[in-house]
Amino acid sequence: MQSIRGKPNSRNAFPERAFSRERGASKPNRAATPEALVRLAKVFTAVLLGLATASANGAQDPAPREAAIKSVYLLKFPQYVSWPDTAFESETSPLVIGVLKDGAVADATERLASRTTAKHRKIVVKRFNSVNEIESCHILFIPRSVDRRLQTEAIVRTRNSPVLLVGERGGFASAGGVLNFYLDPDTTVGFELNPEATAQRGLRIEAGLLRLAKVVNTKQPSEER
């Protein structure tokens, strides 16, 4: 049985510093070069798989491992994203990660959120059972189990809000989502990034994250197959 794992290369590996527990080390190295990211990739992958294994409680089923790996990404994306000041009530307000209809990812994210912070902010996980329940959050994960109609509703509902919208269905980013997970043939987890959707939502993505992502653009309805 093949295992789901994070990318062991420079395109989808986060710098080692993203996993440092030192309080002053939560910011990524802005001067990091692609070569440095390559050197740190193997270290990241080892840490990622260690966290994923712990979160999945040693399960051999690839489903919980995939959920755990995605939860690690959700928790580390904020290190590379800037929200407008108005997105937070105060400097001590938590960063809220919303999860729509996905108990596995929500469970894994909650377990890991208790061990980390996002730019010194506490991380809170909210579960939404329907699009109508979606309320204030900074990151919103929409799993592939949500049908395209509801996916589109969620994109439209949050389009003008500073929400980092993350999906895992083919075409999600090009439909207006910000980030989209995908699996390579070798079962490694990668992600797409839509700069247009990012700008529309008032978010800023650091260049380091752009280098690690597969960049896609928003397609107009007439362009969709």
DSSP per-residue string spanning 140-195: EEE-TTS-HHHHHHHHHHHTTS--EEEE-STTTTTTT-SEEEEE-TT-EEEEEE-H
Q: CB-hemisphere CA count at 13 Å for 32? A: 26
Answer yes or no: is 225 within a domain.
no
For 15-61, how does the pLDDT look when each residue is reduced to its tens digit (9 = 90+)? 333 333 333 333 444 444 444 443 443 444 445 555 555 554 544 55
Answer yes or no: is 41 within a domain.
yes
Answer yes or no: is 223 within a domain.
no
Number of folded domains that form the chain: 1
Taking only Cα atoms into account, the Rg of the chain, rounded to an integer number of angstroms, comes to: 16
Please check the confidence at residue 70 and state whether its pLDDT lies above 60.
yes
Answer yes or no: is 29 within a domain.
yes
**H-run or E-run covering 34:** helix 34-55
Buried-state track 55-88, b at ≥16 Cβ within 10 A, e below 16? bbeeeeebebbbbbbbbbbbbbbbbbbebeeebb
Q: What is the pLDDT of residue 7?
A: 54
Domain enclosing residue 127, as ranges:
5-216
SS3 call for 212: helix
DSSP per-residue string spanning 99-154: EES-HHHHHHHHHHHTT--BTTB-EEEEEESSGGG--S-SEEEE-TTS-HHHHHHH
Q: Which pTM was predicted?
A: 0.73
For 85-95, how does the pLDDT look when each residue is reduced to its tens digit (9 = 90+)? 999 999 999 99
DSSP class of residue 220? P
Check: CB of residue 59 under 8 Å from CB of residue 30: no
Answer yes or no: is 112 within a domain.
yes
Check: CB of residue 120 under 8 Å from CB of residue 95: no
Joined together, the tokens standing for residue 150 give 């509801």
Q: What is the pLDDT of residue 135?
A: 85
Separation of alpha carbons 78 and 151, rounded Å:
22
Residue 78 pLDDT class (50, 70, 90 cuts)? very high
For 138-193, how does the pLDDT look when each residue is reduced to its tens digit (9 = 90+)? 999 998 888 899 999 999 999 889 999 999 999 999 999 999 998 877 667 889 99
Q: Which residue has the higher pLDDT, 31 or 75?
A: 75
In degrees rounded to 5, what are phi and psi of residue 13? Answer: -120, 135
Answer yes or no: is 141 within a domain.
yes
79 alpha carbon, distance to own chain's centre: 11
Answer yes or no: is 221 within a domain.
no
